[in-house]
Amino acid sequence: MEILVCVKRVPDTAENEFELNSAGNDLDRDDLVYSVNEWDNYAVEEAIQIVDKVGGNVTVITVGDDESEEVLRREMAMGANSGILLCDDAFEGSDGKGIAGILKAEVEKGSYDLIMSGAQADEGAGQVGGMLAAMLDYPYASLVNKIEVQDGKITVGREIEGGNQEMNEIQLPCVLSIQTGINEPRYVGIRGIRKVAKVDIPVNGADDLGIDTASVGAAGAKTKRVDYFVPDMGDGAEMLEGSTDEIIEKLIEKLKAKGGL
Amino acid sequence: MTQIFAYIPFKNGAAEDVALEYPTAAKKIDEGASLTAVVTGSGADLDKVADEMTSIYSQVIKIDHADLAYPNAEVVRKALVNIIPTDAVFLTAHDTFGMDMAPGLSVKMDSAYAADMVDFEGIDGTTLKGVRQELGGAVNIHVTIDISSGAVMTVRPGSFAPVDGGSAGGSVVDKSGDAGDLSVKRKFLEVVEAEAGDVDITKSDVLVSIGRGIEDEDNIEIAQELAEAMNSVVSCSRPIVDAKWLEKSRQVGTSGQTVKPKVYMAMGISGSFQHMGGVKGNPFIVAVNKNPKAPIFQVADVGIVEDILDFIPELTEAVNDL
Ligand SMILES: Cc1cc2nc3c(=O)[nH]c(=O)nc-3n(C[C@H](O)[C@H](O)[C@H](O)COP(=O)(O)OP(=O)(O)OC[C@H]3O[C@@H](n4cnc5c(N)ncnc54)[C@H](O)[C@@H]3O)c2cc1C
């Protein structure tokens, strides 16, 4: 089975305390720690496990800049067989459809049975997988937390509200977006990354993909990100301050009053 | 005039709360827009929901087909493409169905797409301004959406004030005949219900809830000790379950349990909407987080900026000393 997994380099929500820049319209991007999108690790792990069972290859792909190469290498260190970087100044500012369109162009050059992505990334939209499927006329299932492969078709479980699982039979080729918890992504050490440091990663731009640059990037985007801002928080929490002992004393009084103790 | 269509999700013949929230979202998009509810399904449940919607919406479209009995997103999308005008604005909830169905719909309708909208700030010509969140709710961002050739948008449940309903006096139009060919390459099989666990967190008046801030499986013990001291139980956010440190039945949130405690102690939890979506009944929320900017402080009653690994044991000791 030939599997393509779409991944993204994102600011790490566990490692950063996000603040706005001095102009107050964008993130303060100095010193941000980036990593591969949490959901994508589960997708790559799942792809590797499927290939371990039924044979085939795992290719990881991203639309990004030079620095995105590092996430491809990380996923190759996990066990993906190859990586593809789609990079072009013209891609900058693309909305979800732009990104899906760029990926589609690369998908059509290859022959993949299964395409996966994380269920969502830093923007929390969860849009690229579903768009890519629709552009390719492939069936789609999102929030997948179980995959069983049989000949020519697969059974997938989707995580729905309340932690219930919706079981579906889906035909190949298809696109699946993967939910966290489907597996336990393997650990990648420095040594693993070093091993794939020299593997060639092809870089394809708009020309290589035959993409009309007017349809992607900021020019083609119908949905545009304008500015970050601090919302009016309303009242917000009453912050308890002082020494830890003082805080605990105040907290205990409040907990008693509210039925917590 | 902007034409807005809103997809009504329902279960066992009862519409989800978002059905009352779309009218507010629609007004914020365009005060003068027309708003039509769309209900898909089959049989008596569908008819019941469609009728109920006439008290909230002046126009209700129903699509009845055996293949729509379960809301398989692939089937629903096919039906909608044949029924929704391509230059319309289409709204659906940002839930597990909306996430499944809507991105592909925007491709098939060749319209703009915007996900998980939490607010709208009106329309200027064909440019709609709205608000979303990124990075798990850590930041807010304004977006513009060019709706000149229509738009598909998902709206976050609970973000728009519910309307009273009751007086719309609407009517149901049956468009089942227009749904067209509904054959798809994904077949719904069954829903497997979540398993019950060793403890029922929904029964506890107090919850000591831990998130990724607990950092290590071995540290869960300190939360358990605090829970014991407070006569309560430990619940958690999703990453703790993903890491297999606690059972799924302890997870609070949209894809876990809905809890209604009196007191909710959020320890090292950032406060994503999927997590807070499971905290109902307006409990007294205490948040302890080492990041003073954590979004949880916007919804908590009391906030404490501390490292939970130090703070929890000290609190436990103080409680035990009472
Ligand atoms: C479809 C879908 C459904 C989902 N359903 C759920 C759900 O049901 N429940 C759920 O919880 N999530 C759910 N999620 C995931 C959700 O989006 C968040 O990723 C998740 O809630 C984050 O969990 P967290 O707050 O524990 O982790 P994080 O967001 O990583 O936050 C950890 C917090 O701990 C703080 N911290 C770190 N170390 C310490 C320390 N030593 N002391 C004090 N504070 C510390 C950090 O500052 C941070 O604020 C869902 C996501 C999707 C896409």
Which residues lie below 8 Å from residue B240, measured CB to CB, with a gap of 6+? B210, B211, B212, B214, B220, B246, B250, B251
Give yes or no for B309 touching A (CB within 8 A): no
Q: What is the 3-state secondary structure (H, E, C) of chain A?
A: CEEEEECCEEECCCCCCCCECCCCCCECCCCCCEEECHHHHHHHHHHHHHHHHHCCEEEEEEECCHHHHHHHHHHHHHCCCEEEEECCHHHCCCCHHHHHHHHHHHHCCCCCCEEEEECCCCCCCCCHHHHHHHHHCCCEEEEEEEEEECCCEEEEEEECHHHCEEEEEEECCEEEEECCCCCCCCCCCHHHHHHCCCCCCCEECHHHHCCCHHHCHHHHCCEEEEEEECCCCCCCCEECCCCHHHHHHHHHHHHHHCCCC
Residue B116 has pLDDT above 80, yes or no: yes
Average pLDDT over residues B225-245: 97
Q: Which residues of A touch B134 (CB under 8 A)?
A: 122-124, 228
Predicted local distance difference test score (pLDDT) of residue A150: 84
- What is the b/e burial string over B291-304, where b = at least 16 CB atoms within 10 angstroms of the residue's CB? beebbbbbbbbbbb
Give yes or no for A159 touching B (CB within 8 A): yes
Which stretch of DSSP H or E encloses residue B152? strand B151-155
- Confidence band of B65 (pLDDT split at 50, 70, 90): very high
| B240-249 pLDDT tens trace | 999 999 999 9
Average pLDDT over residues B264-293: 97
Contact B306 A247 (CB under 8 A): yes
* Least Cα separation, residue B171 to chain A (angstroms): 30
Query: Which of A155-159, A232-236, B26-30, B264-268 is the least confident region?
Result: A232-236
Instruction: Report how far apart, in Å, the C-alpha atoms of B63 and of each of B46, B103, B201 are.
Output: 9, 21, 39
Per the structure, the complete domain to which residue A8 belongs is given by 2-220
Nearest C-alpha neighbor of A239 from the set B287, B5, B111, B188 = B287
How large is the ipTM? 0.96
Residue A17 has pLDDT above 90, yes or no: no
Nearest C-alpha neighbor of A222 from the set B112, B104, B129, B131 = B112
Give yes or no for B187 touching A (CB within 8 A): yes
Predicted local distance difference test score (pLDDT) of residue A203: 98
Residue entry with tokens 């329309």: B123
Predicted local distance difference test score (pLDDT) of residue A248: 98
Residue B213 has pLDDT above 90, yes or no: yes
* Least Cα separation, residue B50 to chain A (angstroms): 23
Which stretch of DSSP H or E encloses residue B261? none
Task: Provide the sign of the torsion angle of the four alpha carbons B46, B51, B55, B60, taken in this order.
Answer: positive
Quick one: closest CA in B to A120, which residue? B99
pTM score of the predicted model = 0.96
> Does residue A257 sit within a domain?
no
CA gap B42, B65 in Å, rounded = 5
Q: Nearest CB to A260: which of B186, B284, B293?
A: B284
Predicted local distance difference test score (pLDDT) of residue B125: 95
- Confirm or reject: Cβ of B212 under 6 Å from ligand 1: yes
Q: Atom of ligand 1 at shortest distance to CA of B307?
A: 42
Average pLDDT over residues A187-207: 95
Question: Which B residues in the span 6-65 are in contact with A, Cβ-Cβ below 8 Å?
Answer: none
Average pLDDT over residues B180-198: 95
Instruction: Report how far apart, in Å, the C-alpha atoms of B242 and of each of A7, A123, B73, B309 are.
Output: 19, 21, 26, 21
CA gap A36, A8 in Å, rounded = 6
Length of chain B: 322
> Does residue A77 sit within a domain?
yes
Give yes or no for A32 touching B (CB within 8 A): no
Residue A235 has pLDDT above 80, yes or no: no
Query: Which of A26-35, A248-257, B185-194, B200-209 is the least confident region?
Result: A26-35
Give yes or no for B322 touching A (CB within 8 A): yes
> Does residue A253 sit within a domain?
no
CA gap A113, A27 in Å, rounded = 38
Predicted local distance difference test score (pLDDT) of residue A16: 86
Number of domains chain A contains:
1
> Does residue A231 sit within a domain?
no
CA gap B234, B207 in Å, rounded = 6
Sorted by where each starts, the structural domains of chain B and their CATH numbers stand as 3-178 (3.40.50.620), 201-321 (3.40.50.1220)
Which residue would you say has higher pLDDT here, A22 or B266? Answer: B266
Averaged confidence pLDDT in chain A: 95
Predicted local distance difference test score (pLDDT) of residue A233: 66
Quick one: closest CA in A to B208, which residue? A260
Substitution target from A13, A15, A16, A166 for chain B, most B beta carbons within 10 A: A166
Residue A189 has pLDDT above 70, yes or no: yes
- Report the CATH number that the domain containing residue A70 is assigned in CATH: 3.40.50.620
Give yes or no for B257 touching A (CB within 8 A): yes
Averaged confidence pLDDT in chain B: 97
Residue entry with tokens 């995580």: A159
Contact B138 A130 (CB under 8 A): no
Q: Is B116 exposed, middle or buried (0-12, 13-18, 19+ CB in 10 A)?
A: buried
Q: Atom of ligand 1 at shortest distance to CA of A143?
A: 1
3-state secondary structure of B17: coil
Contact B96 A161 (CB under 8 A): yes
* Least Cα separation, residue B71 to chain A (angstroms): 11
Q: What is the dihedral of CA B218, A43, A158, B156, to 10 degrees?
A: 80
Predicted local distance difference test score (pLDDT) of residue A25: 86
> Does residue A260 sit within a domain?
no
| B297-310 pLDDT tens trace | 999 999 999 999 99
Average pLDDT over residues B178-205: 96
> Does residue A239 sit within a domain?
no
DSSP letters spanning B272-303: -HHHHTTB-S--EEEEE-S-TT-THHHH-SEE
Residue A167 has pLDDT above 80, yes or no: yes
| A66-98 pLDDT tens trace | 999 999 999 999 999 999 999 999 999 999 999
Average pLDDT over residues A133-157: 95
Predicted local distance difference test score (pLDDT) of residue A48: 98
Average pLDDT over residues A183-210: 95
Give yes or no for B204 touching A (CB within 8 A): no
Q: Nearest CB to B135: which of A11, A169, A174?
A: A11
CA gap B226, B220 in Å, rounded = 10
> Does residue A195 sit within a domain?
yes
Percent of chain A with pLDDT over 70: 99
Contact A244 B306 (CB under 8 A): yes
Q: Which residues of A touch B243 (CB under 8 A)?
A: 184
* Least Cα separation, residue B37 to chain A (angstroms): 22
Contact A163 B255 (CB under 8 A): yes
Predicted local distance difference test score (pLDDT) of residue A15: 85
| B53-64 pLDDT tens trace | 999 999 999 999
Residue entry with tokens 């991944």: A7
